[in-house]
Structure 1
Amino acid sequence: MKIHKHHIIHKHLWGIILCSLCFSCQQKAREMTDVRILHPREAIETDIDVITDSIAYIPLETSDECLLDNILSAKRDGGCYFVQDGKGLYAFDGTGRFLNEIGRRGNGPEEYLYMDCYALDRTNKLVYVVSNVQKKIFRYTYQGKFHSALYVDPHDANIASLTVCSDSVLLAYYPLPNKAADKAFWQAHKGLEFSEARSLLREKGLGLGITAIAATDGRLLLSLNNRQTLAWDGKSCRLIDNILMPDVGVQTELLSGGGCSDDYLGYFEASFLCSRKEQAKESGNPTFLRLSSYLKEEDNPVLFRYHFKKKILGF
């Protein structure tokens, strides 16, 4: 089993260099490409309908077995959704019906103490759960049963995110401190909430760098400073700012979408959708009308998934 380290370092928006860009784990590294961003100082604000064909909504089943709090991550494999919150990791089918929990927190030999991140092995239908404090990567079946564990070298037990390639190679991301916002800066401002820290960094002209990456065969999306999205289709590149979802009257980031995902997944809290019942009636969106007719504020969140148009840079 090979683990490849990937360190991501912030570049200037109008001088970003993409080196050895791969759209899949099996493709060979490409030559260095100098990407020219169109209108780098004027990020585009657009309506979600302009760049997507449709958005699918999946209301997650609410039961005592899977009462979710704040969602940390959501991933998908075919008709199966994996949703992580502060308590654990849960599997749902394509309609949002609860299937099972993946593994379990605890001190047992088949249990993880803390989930730093997780990844899907879509070929072998396994879920990899990283527990840096235990220096282990636990592997569970999609049905939630323990499969095996990989031991991580103590020097490498700082994995922030993980991807499993089809040939069982693991791509691991290890965070580097941002050189612009140095140790002294964070020491002086320790205890800030994330949103407050982000606002302060903006005021001082400091950056968080590249905070998320998503790639398909036809496009590359980079989330910059956890706010704007850099979209590249191999020929041209544009900087996209907030996008508007008019049916619910909110602005969101294109890549994160309300939840951290590698598959264009986001979520709305049920309480939020309930508060938008009148707006749903005005918009005439049949999906929101249906959801608002039976959702209760204490219900589990509703996942949503973007279906992008083939060309999202032509607007």
Structure 2
Amino acid sequence: MPRENLNDLSAFIAVAREGSFTRAAARLGVSQPALSHTIRQLEARLGLRLLTRTTRSLAPTEAGQRLLRTVGPRLEEIDAELAALSELREKPAGTIRIAATENAAETILWPALQRLLPDYPDIRVEIVIDYGLTDIAAEGYDAGVRPGGNVSKGMIAVPIGPDMRMAVVGAPAYFARHAAPRTPQDLTAHACINLRLPTHGGLYVWEFEKGRRELRVRVEGQLVFNTAALILTATLAGFGLAYLPEKQVEQHLADGRLVQVLADWCAPFPGYHIYYPSGRQHSPAFALLIRALRYRGPSRLPQAS
């Protein structure tokens, strides 16, 4: 098969998985019109419509689904084998795609990359901020980052950070107008700032634990965001209470810009783990990154070998 056909197939796989020409073009580093032209050429050569397009959605046709299901894994195998050839190079090389939350990216991934990448100029890392329970294998990621208790079965999970705690916080200006909650149930009478999860469009439920008691509280308020950064901004401005990783707000707590409540209901839990499919062959660049990220302090979960 001519190499341009493989390129066209790779372009189709990207569009089908992203569900968007715009996102796929950004991922591939090409313009959206050029990508649309590539897909039209591929459909013309095959004599089949591969994508159903409307003004609001894009989805594979039956032929497109079959192509995605059969050709997609083979192209991934080709890419993995080509990446493995970097073992013959003096230094590891290649691209690594990781799905992670903002907090994990800022507090764990970025500090490690700052130390690692200057010595390995041929390694490229793409971090995609993601709060959903993304299927990393289906979406073309090399790895994902989640708290240890949320890692899917069948994945290799490597600890990359210490145990974590969540914190319920609010600005002094907010508590000047409202009495502090004494129990998680009291939160139903407070203005709380919600996080919208991409998975099924649901709101993140605040989880609490004290002794043997476990509570899940669905809170309400004027504001809903899909990024923790905006939640923190609104909380600092006094618009309500937030439920955020304690590490993310510790400096604001120390400076008095935020006040923590319900600390006795926020128990520690296994910290961030980087996870990836056990059966996939990974490049030396990926193995190098895993070694750089591995947390060797105490953890509630056993480390992967």
- Provide TM-score, normalisation by structure 2: 0.22
Choose 1 or 2 for highest CA Rg: 2
**Greater strand content:** 1
Larger helix percent: 2
Instruction: Using structure 1 for the length normalisation, give the TM-score.
Output: 0.21
